[in-house]
Amino acid sequence: MPSPPLATRLAIAEAVAREAGALALRRFRKLETLTVERKGLQDVVSAADREVEGLIRARLAALLPEDAVLGEEQGLTEGSSDAVWVVDPIDGTWCFLNGIGTWCVAVACVIGGRTAVGVVFDPCSGEMFAAARGLGARLDGQRVRVAEARSLRDGTLGVGFSHRSRPEEVGPLITEVLAAGGMYHRHGSGALGLAWTACGRLIGYLEPHMNSWDCLAGLLLVEEAGGFANDFLAGEGLTEGNAVIAGPPEMRPLLEDLAGRHFHRVRQ
Query: Domain-by-domain residue ranges, the chain?
Result: 6-143, 152-262
pLDDT at 108: 98
Using an 8 Å Cβ cutoff, are 203 and 210 in contact? Answer: no
Read off the pLDDT band of 133 (50, 70, 90).
Answer: very high
- Whether 268 has a pLDDT exceeding 90, the answer reads no
The pTM score is: 0.93
- Whether 44 has a pLDDT exceeding 60, the answer reads no
Using an 8 Å Cβ cutoff, are 186 and 177 in contact? Answer: no
Determine which of 95-99, 106-110, 197-201 has the lowest per-residue pLDDT on average: 95-99
- Whether 42 has a pLDDT exceeding 50, the answer reads no
Q: Where are the alpha helices (DSSP H) in the chain?
A: 6-28, 47-63, 93-97, 167-179, 190-198, 212-224, 237-240, 252-262
CATH 3.40.190.80, domain 152-262, yes or no: yes
**112 in the Ramachandran plot: left (φ > 0), alpha (ψ -120 to 50) or beta?**
left
Read off the pLDDT band of 41 (50, 70, 90).
Answer: very low
What pLDDT, in 10s, does the model give residues 215-261? 999 999 999 999 999 999 998 999 999 999 999 999 999 999 999 99
Q: Could you tell me which residue, 59 or 41, shows the higher pLDDT?
A: 59
Domain 6-143 identical in fold to domain 152-262: no
Using an 8 Å Cβ cutoff, are 119 and 104 in contact? Answer: no
Nearest to 251 by CA among 178, 146, 160, 133: 146
Using an 8 Å Cβ cutoff, are 40 and 33 in contact? Answer: no
Average pLDDT over the chain reads: 92
**To 10 degrees, what angle do helices 190-198 and 212-224 make?**
0
Nearest to 230 by CA among 259, 250, 201, 202: 259
Rg (CA), the chain: 17
Q: Could you tell me which residue, 115 or 40, shows the higher pLDDT?
A: 115
Using an 8 Å Cβ cutoff, are 106 and 91 in contact? Answer: yes
What pLDDT, in 10s, does the model give residues 139-189? 999 999 999 999 999 999 999 987 777 888 899 999 999 999 999 999 999
How far is Cα 264 from Cα 22, in angstroms, rounded to an integer? 38
| Architecture of the domain whose range is 6-143 | 2-Layer Sandwich (3.30)
**To 10 degrees, what angle do helices 6-28 and 47-63 make?**
150
